[in-house]
Chains A and B, each alone.
Chain A
Amino acid sequence: MFNEERKKTAFQWKDLGDIQAGRPNLGLTVPVLAYRLLQYTLRDVLISEVGIDRANEIFIKSGRLAGAQFCRNILNRELGFHEFIAQLQRVLKEQTIGILRIEEADMEHMRFTLTVAEDLDCSGLPFTDEVVCHYDEGFIAGIFETYTGKPFSVREIDCWASGERVCRFDARQVTIDR
């Protein structure tokens, strides 16, 4: 299941296992340190193996897959848009993933500016004049796509690592010309 060759992604929510049963003593949560250790060592190796652009693409794609599964398995997709956003904000806080705040929402063009504070990926990183939350870009896109059923493009325009102290994302529905 985990070691089979594949040409298409095959991740399913149940692949995460029964964490409660598997960690009766250590519990469901781990320090951010462990998450970042995985994320940044993986990033390091990927960049060295396949280059920056390809590595970032892989992070975005993985984030998109995670966002889609997260939306499908954790969030109530039957809610209206603003209720859904309130729910997302609440769940991201409960899961200690980040503090979601909507800055602007253009419902007509399905374009949103949102921020994630205390972000799991980057908050507290040294200022390096770079944006680094590619996984988040994919994660947010995956959530929006799964909720709306429409393709979304999400781009990080500000990042803690670029000195903004908050991660700001521009999310917009992609119009497909036929």
Chain B
Amino acid sequence: MNEKVLEKLASLMQGTIPEKIDLESDDAGADRKLGETVNQLIDFMQEIHAFIVPLSRGELHGIRIQSRNFLASPFKELHSRLLHLAWQATRVAKGDYEQRVDFMGDFSEAFNSMIISLEQNEKALKNKIVELEKALAHITKLEGILPICSNCKKIRLEGADPKVQGSWIPIESYLRARTEAQFSHGICPECVKKLYSEFMD
């Protein structure tokens, strides 16, 4: 029996799950209890192996250690925490920045910083959008064909009767009402010559 036990233990230590000891064989005898214990250990290790391999591939659902396998406790705890992190990540993906990961060491720190950064970035982007929308609201786009008097350069208001004088407004008034532009008034050299030639040397 001792040889069989050593063989099974060596196999476990090499990372392979051995066949269980055949307790019905003749040499089981007085060491049956030892054989049963080793077989239970093999069961536990088999169960852990079947659990941890998919977990290491990131498969969090559909794996479970059913029996009261105390050896597997830390792996179950790890599984539980990974499930929680996956749920948290799902919530963050949906824009829920209220969640925090507590007491999970480096994970908590990294995850919580990520949530805070995402929230701050989103807030900054939203603020920027609001600013841009406000700016956009102040800018009136001028496009299309403007009807303009070829002599006095007044603009005819859209849809207004061209035969009524009130339909025509100075170009300064037109642009001031539709843009942020302001006007200062001066006279160009050509007009000075035309209007005030008597004052010129």
**Could you tell me if B76 and A103 are in contact, using CB atoms closer than 8 angstroms?**
no
Q: Dominant SS at the A interface?
A: mixed
**B99 adjacent to chain A (CB < 8 Å):** yes
Is B199 at the interface (CB under 8 A from chain A)?
Answer: no
B60 CB to closest chain A CB (Å) equals: 9
The one of A83, A87, A105, A162 in contact with B87, judged by C-beta atoms closer than 8 angstroms, is A105
Binary B-proximity of A65-103 (CB < 8 A = 1, otherwise 0): 000000000000000001101110110010000010111
Select which of A83, A115, A118 is within 8 A of B80 by beta carbon: A115
Distance A168 CA – B84 CA, assembled complex (angstroms): 12
Instruction: Answer whether residue A129 sits at the interface, using C-beta atoms and an 8 A cutoff.
Output: yes
B31 adjacent to chain A (CB < 8 Å): no
Query: Smallest CB-CB separation from B101: which chain A residue?
Result: A101
Contact (Cβ within 8 A) B76 A89: no
Judged by DSSP, the binding face of B is helix
Tell me, yes or no, whether B100 is within 8 Å of chain A by CB: yes
Residues of B within 8 A of A90 (CB): 100
Q: Which of B76, B84, B91, B102 contacts A164, CB < 8 Å?
A: B76
**Per-residue CB proximity of B68-110 to A under 8 Å, as 1/0?**
1110011011001101100100010000101110110000000
Closest CB in chain A relative to B75 CB, distance in Å: 10
From A83, A99, A163, B102 is in contact (CB under 8 Å) with A99
Q: List 17 A-B contacts (CB under 8 A).
A: A82-B96, A86-B96, A89-B102, A93-B102, A99-B103, A101-B84, A103-B80, A103-B84, A118-B103, A127-B70, A158-B76, A163-B68, A163-B70, A164-B73, A164-B76, A165-B73, A165-B77
Which residues of B approach A to under 8 Å, CB–CB?
A: 68-70, 73-74, 76-77, 80-81, 83-84, 87, 91, 96, 98-100, 102-103
- List A residues at the B interface (Cβ < 8 Å): 82-83, 85-87, 89-90, 93, 99, 101-105, 113, 115, 117-118, 127, 129, 158, 162-166, 168
